[in-house]
Amino acid sequence: MIVRTWRGWTRSSDAAAYEEYLLRTGFTGYTQTPGNRGAYFTRRDSGDRTEFFLISLWESWEAIRAFAGDEQSVAVFYPEDDAFLVDRERTVEHYEVFASA
């Protein structure tokens, strides 16, 4: 299994709206892609910003490619992300799982 992570930040005042938007776009995109083994969309407030940390689980590199395309280390964005995000990671991190419980 492979873990894929990404972070983005909104103004705290936009966090609830971005959360709803993420559930309609990213969460659906992740979980409806064959080979996705789950997703955790998390958030935390920090001052006037809210950090969103997305963690997804994938059965193979091929499954990630089906979601992200050939450039698997590039983050996937959706049309209205620019309206919400004040900062974002342009790339993602991948980790191969070698043990779990």
Q: Do 58 and 1 form a contact (C-beta atoms < 8 A)?
A: yes
Predicted confidence (pLDDT) per residue in 8-57, tens digit: 999 999 999 999 999 999 999 999 999 999 999 999 999 999 999 999 99
Q: Looking at residue 36, which CATH number applies to its domain?
A: 3.30.70.100
Structural domain count, the chain: 1
Residue type, 14: D
Banded pLDDT at 93 (limits 50, 70, 90)? very high
**CA–CA separation, 92 and 17 (whole Å):** 23
In a domain, 22, yes or no: yes
In a domain, 101, yes or no: no
How distant, in Å, are the alpha carbons of 4, 47, 81 from that of 75?
Answer: 10, 25, 12
3-class SS of residue 74: strand
Q: Mean pLDDT in the chain?
A: 97
Return the pLDDT at 82: 97
Question: What mean pLDDT comes out for the span 63-92?
Answer: 97
3-class SS of residue 21: helix
What is the span of the domain harbouring residue 7? 2-96
Return the pLDDT at 41: 98
* Nearest residue to 51 (alpha-carbon basis) of 5, 85, 90: 85
Return the pLDDT at 87: 98
